[in-house]
Amino acid sequence: MADPVRRRGTYEDVLRAPEFLLAEVADCEMYLRPRPTIDAARARTRLGVLLGTAYDLGRGGPGGWVLLDEPELHLGLRPDVVVPDLAGWRRARMPKLPSTPHLTLAPDWVCQVVSADSANFDRGTKQRVYAREGVELAWFVDPARQLLEVVRLGVGDEVAIATFRENEVVCAEPFESIEVELGALWER
């Protein structure tokens, strides 16, 4: 598949984008791409339920997090407007969820469900925005390859912590106190 369409962009362009496309602005460029596949949406939904139950609700896990599906983030001075598939903030940093349409506080953790349409943007430009804004950890979930990569972010460098495949049972930063069965993310 082709890379997403890129051009100079502003938040007003994001608001005017067709509903059937995902629109984001990073490094002053607008990125338009198709909505995720059903496999990607399924993986994101299931991961959000597994992590959210234990870490956001504190049921069967330690709690202490605020987890959101597709939050709109306005980060930096420009600002960049990015939408991770999942994002998490430690409650110590965000004790109360604001009632605004977007957030300006960078998350502690993000998850991108990558596809052929999104991989270059998610693992390139968007990852650099997250690193620049202080996001500590990123998970990259690839349903087509049945793969989870855990990456520690830093300005100018990333450190791959672990790669998990297929049906492995995962205990991964920052959610290492529970087990995530990867097979549940790919199950139809």
* Amino acid at site 39: D
Amino acid of residue 143: P
Percent of the chain's residues with pLDDT above 90 = 78
Question: What percent of the chain is helix, strand and coil (3-state, nearest 5)?
Answer: 20, 35, 45
Of 61, 50, 92, the C-alpha closest to 187 is 50
Residue 9 in any domain: the answer is no
Residue 109 lies in domain = 36-186
Q: Could you tell me if residue 4 is inside a domain?
A: no
Bridge-based pairing of strands 109-113 and 137-142 is parallel
Sequence-distant (≥ 6) Cβ neighbours of residue 95 within 8 angstroms: none
State mean pLDDT over 153-171: 90
Q: Over the stretch 116-145, which tens digit does the pLDDT of each residue have?
A: 888 999 999 999 999 999 999 999 999 999
Asked, for residue 61, whether it belongs to a domain, the answer is: yes
User: Residue range 148-162: average pLDDT?
Assistant: 88
Query: Is residue 21, in this structure, part of any structural domain at all?
Result: no
Q: Domain containing 82 — which CATH number? A: 3.90.1570.10
**Could you tell me if residue 17 is inside a domain?**
no
Query: In terms of DSSP H, where are the helices of the chain?
Result: 11-16, 38-51, 119-123, 125-132, 183-186
Domain count, the chain: 1
Confidence (pLDDT) at 7: 66
- The token pair that represents 35 in the structure block: 């909505």
DSSP run (H or E) holding 86: strand 86-90
Among 176, 184, 147, smallest CA distance to 54 is for 176
**What is the C-alpha to C-alpha distance for residues 41 and 85, in angstroms, rounded to an integer?**
9
Is residue 5 assigned to a domain?
no
95 in any annotated domain? yes
Q: What is the pTM of this model?
A: 0.92
Tell me what the pLDDT averaged over the chain comes to.
Answer: 92
For the cut 60, the answer to whether the pLDDT of residue 3 exceeds it is: no
Decide if 8 is inside a domain.
no
**Mean pLDDT score, 45-67:** 96
